[in-house]
Structure 1
Amino acid sequence: MATDRWRRVLAAAAPSLPESRLKRRDFLAASALIALLAPAPALAARKKEKSSTTASAKPGSKPAGASTGRSRRETRTDNRSRARGRQSYRPVAEQPATAPAAAAISPATTNEHTYNAIALPDEPQPQWRTYDITSLLTLSNVKGRLRLWLPLAQYRDNPWQRALGHDWRGNFDSAGVYRDPVADLEVFYADWNSGSATPQLQLVSQVAKRDRSFDITRRGGAAERGEVLRRCLQSSDLMPTDGLVRRTAEVAVGRIKDPVAQGKAIYDWVVENTTYDPGPTGIGRGDVEAMLDSGRLSGGSADIALLFVALCRSIGIPARPVFGLRIDSSRLFSGLGATGNLRTGQHCRAEFYTPGYGWIPVDPGDVRKAIRDENLGYGDPKLVVLRKLLFGFWERNWLALNTAQDVQLQGASGGPLPFLVLPQIEAGGQRFDSNDSQRCSYSVTSRRIDG
């Protein structure tokens, strides 16, 4: 019975149209059908009274001999600065207008003879939600001078994410925040001198999030800076843009000339030709060249997203990966959200740029993850909807950290990293990350403040 209902809805939501036209009706229908998917429980209970949600979360009592620091939203941009002061504001959540469309698609109230998904009115702006993200890290079995680097949320505000501030404390000798404006990267660092007993750190970041959507009928997005677009056309150590990569992209797009339709064709090709296999690292290595050479297009979210980025760049479409962390449950599928300890919740999405529209979000990795987790067949109505939805939509349950590739950590003795999504530590000149359970105890939790 449920399958019949999905088929009736999809018949209205997905009319027979050429893929290159990308009609708004497909996007609206897919967006509206989120309500048909069972919501998962939130990671944390909401506050009962609105007045109690306006106070910032405070870490626990300061241990003896511990150092503390705060970085408010107006953190100075000079390197190795240690800005002090609490965040001075929190974004006001927008109150959405009444949404008759949401009620119209409810299975209990829909008249199947009059339902028309493509006639839905414009959806209201999604609400902001504010979160406290707490990272706890303890080091053991290490010798010599220690230095730690931990990626922070993107510091540039955008219509779907705002970084509100950071608080930290621990027994470090020095700590602070630095920015790499070229890589669009903000990093927390801490140092422990040789002989420090049980190095510890607690970092609390406050962020505001809301859903991000792309509308094919609305042009006029802000133009991106030329140097950013040039950077988003370059190859990297693990991601070439010539040879086999370019030939693969040309096969994927065929004779399509419109850049939005080209991006959609590449997205479809990646979804149809990859498999999700996170492996021991959880997010993957991002070695696009090795993946294509092997002929086995399998990997984690970073591998799949970087394959999409490489194919776009190879035919002249600016594109970039966006590395981040799942921080809340998903309204789509439970496997696309976060639960409990978020230490392994890293996830990579992607976006590509077209004139007139700006950056368009995509998430082919989560399509492939849902196929694996839910055992979805290609004709499954839920997969049809999800595949359409994740071209142009990012759910707000994920925190964007950075878009940096080939990252050179400030003050590090080792070489560059392909990307920075996990805490990195150097002890006596040797580097390891937070996945090293013998030397690093690491946990991340998320608490919803409002929304």
Structure 2
Amino acid sequence: MQQAILCVAPGRILLARRTTLLVLVWLLAACGQAYLEPQASSRHVELDMQAELAAAGGVATIWLPVPVSEEWQELGPLRPRARGGPIVERYDEIGNRMISVTGTAPLAISYKVTVRRYRVVPATESFESGSLPTTSRWAEAARLAPTRPLHREALLATGREPTVLGKARILYGRVLDELAFSAPGGAGRNDKGWGKGDLAWIRRTKSGNAIDFHALFIAYCQSLGIPAALELGPTLPPTRSRDWCDVTEPHAWCRFFVPGMRWQPVDLYEAKQHAKRRTFCFGGLTEDRVRLSIGRDLYLLPAQGAGPLNVFDRPYAERAGKDVSGELRWRLRFRDLD
């Protein structure tokens, strides 16, 4: 019996026979829910993340972000390995999954896991209803992205637009028009804030990478009380290959909450790179990605000593409570299984 998987709400998955899939897709589209395309529009990959801390110097810990099954991706069994200490697997309070190893360097930890990621199609109509939550973890500003300076600007930009979806669409276009992509190392430019989602740096330079673009959009949304969250993980090239391919720089995208329509995804990076996808990328996501973590200012488990982690998109290491991630040798690679 053939089956397909369809998202009906975060954390809730409905299994349906392929014969009923199109009916269910139509129903979700009609009620304004971002939905999954049929199972053919998915990508099945194996991830391999490795990290090693070779230098001796006392007890250290390495943490690796691990994907989780959520409404738009499914995982197979995790296959972790470590050298120098026992493997510890934990989930933080918002659902981020991680494994770690603690011991005297040299330390090494790695895992392999299979992931099936689904294409998400924008809702064809809006059936927004109800009101925004009065309290939400995802309405709280990140340390580097205070929302108060943006509140008046966001109000003026959205004007008399009455809906959350409409406000978010205006802010989406504003960020795309306001920012340009940049790489670190520009001539004569201070790049200390590049790629960190630092609003002061982003607004001053009007540029940045995918994290910076989405940090600004999220801050605009949160300034109006709209919950929004940063998501991070590797983006996969559209050409599929069964050979192992290295990921040199993890990607970022985000989601925002609409009453009555649940979470709506956004990929400003892809929209900026491919103008023809600007409409699709508001509410839609390609299947060429894997989510490793969600959120900012994260507290890992076991607890790190250097304060909350701005983003968790790659291995992180500490020794004696100090960040020594710069000493890590790490690698993230993938291969297609279909």
TM range (shorter): 0.7 to 0.9
> Alignment RMSD, CA only?
3.3
- CA separation of 1:220 and 1:162: change in aligned 2, threshold 3 A: farther
Contact in 2 for aligned 1:363/1:391 (Cα 8 Å): yes
Residues 1:256 and 1:271: Cα distance change in structure 2 (over 3 Å): same
Q: Secondary structure at the match of 1:407?
A: coil
Distance 1:218 1:449, change over 3 A: farther
1:368-396 CA-partner distances (Å, limit 9, x unpaired):
3x2xxxxxxxxxxx62x221121111111
Q: Distance in 1 between matches of 2:193 and 2:18?
A: 37
What residue identity is the alignment partner of 1:215? A
Unmatched tracts of structure 2, length 5 or more: 1-13, 23-34, 186-191
More strand by share: 2
Q: Judging changes above 3 Å, is the alpha-carbon distance between structure 1 residues 143 and 411 closer, same or farther for their aligned structure 2 residues? A: same
Q: Secondary structure at the match of 1:398?
A: coil
Residue 125 of structure 1: which of 21, 26, 38 is its match? 38
Counterpart of 2:78 in 1: which secondary structure?
strand
Distance 1:282-1:445 versus aligned 2 partners, 3 A rule: farther
Supply the AA of the counterpart residue of 2:125: T
| SS in structure 1 at match of 2:89 | strand
User: Bigger shift: 282-291 or 316-325?
Assistant: 282-291
Q: Does 1:431 align with 2:323?
A: yes
Deviation at 1:224, TM superposition (A): 11
* CA distance 1:424–1:264, shift in 2 (3 Å): same
Deviation at 1:218, TM superposition (A): 6.5
2:151 corresponds to: 246
Q: Report if the CA contact (8 A) 1:211-1:395 is conserved.
A: yes
In structure 1, the residue matched to 2:287 is: 396
Q: Is the 8 A contact 1:406 1:416 kept in 2?
A: yes
Counterpart residue type for residue 318 of structure 2: E
- Larger Rg, first or second structure (1 or 2): 1
Q: Distance in 1 between matches of 2:183 and 2:17?
A: 37
Q: 2:246 aligns to what SS in structure 1?
A: coil
Q: Does structure 1 retain, via aligned residues, the 8 Å contact 2:46–2:337?
A: yes
| Deviation of 1:185 (Å) | 1.3
**What's the CA shift string for 1:171-213, capped at 9, x where partnerless?**
23111211112x32111111123xx4x4222311222111012
CA distance in 2, matches of 1:190, 1:304: 33
- Are the equivalent residues in 2 in contact too, given 1:148–1:426 (CA < 8 A)? yes
CA drift of 1:440 comes to 2.3
Q: Which residue of 1 aligns with 2:161?
A: 256
Q: Tell me how far apart the structure 2 counterparts of residues 170 and 204 of structure 1 sit (CA, whole Å).
A: 12
* Counterpart position of 1:417: 309
Distance 1:224 1:400 in 2: 28
**Closer/same/farther in 2, CA of residues 246 and 132 from structure 1, 3 Å limit:** same
Residues 278 and 301, structure 1, Cα contact 8 Å, conserved in 2? no
> Deviation string for 1:207-228 (max 9, x for gaps)?
211101221326489x99959x
Structure 1: stretches of 5+ with no match in the other structure:
1-90, 100-121, 371-381
Distance in 2 (alpha carbons) for counterparts of 1:94 and 1:277: 46
Aligned partners of 2:158 and 2:336: how far apart in 1? 42
> Match for residue 315 of structure 1?
224
- Report the count of equivalent residues: 302
**For residues 146 and 287 of structure 1, do their structure 2 counterparts lie closer, same or farther at Cα, with a shift above 3 Å needed?**
same
The alignment status of 1:234 with 2:140, answered yes or no, reads yes
1:224–1:300 CA distance, 2 compared to 1 (3 A): farther
Structure 2 counterpart of 1:441, from 309, 313, 329: 329
Rounded Cα–Cα distance in structure 2 between residues aligned with 1:432 and 1:400: 24
Instruction: Look up the match of 1:161.
Output: 73
The 1:93–1:358 alpha-carbon spacing in structure 2 relative to 1, beyond 3 Å, is closer
Say whether the 8 Å CA contact 2:128–2:163 is kept in structure 1.
no
Alignment pair present for 1:186 and 2:97: yes
Which letter maps to 2:38? Answer: Q
Partner SS, residue 165 of structure 1: coil
The answer to whether residue 203 in structure 2 is matched with residue 298 in structure 1 is: no
Task: Say which SS state the counterpart of residue 303 (structure 1) adopts.
Answer: helix
* 1:142-176 residue CA offsets vs partner (Å, 9 max, x unmatched): 41112011111134x31x21122211113231112
Change in CA separation of 1:163 and 1:200 when aligned onto 2, cut-off 3 Å = same
**Kept after mapping to 2: 8 A contact 1:283/1:347:** no
TM superposition score normalised by structure 1: 0.60
Secondary structure of 2:139's aligned partner: coil
**Percent identical across equivalent pairs?**
21
TM-score normalised according to structure 2 size: 0.79
Q: Residues 256 and 346 from structure 1, CA distance in 2 versus in 1: closer, same or farther, beyond 3 angstroms?
A: same
Conserved? CA contact 1:267–1:308, under 8 Å: yes
The answer on whether the counterparts of 2:37 and 2:121 sit within 8 Å (CA) in structure 1 is no
Which of 278, 286, 299 aligns to 1:387? It is 278
- 1:234 partner amino acid: E
Partner of 1:407: 298
> Aligned letter for 2:123?
D
Amino acid at match of 2:197: G
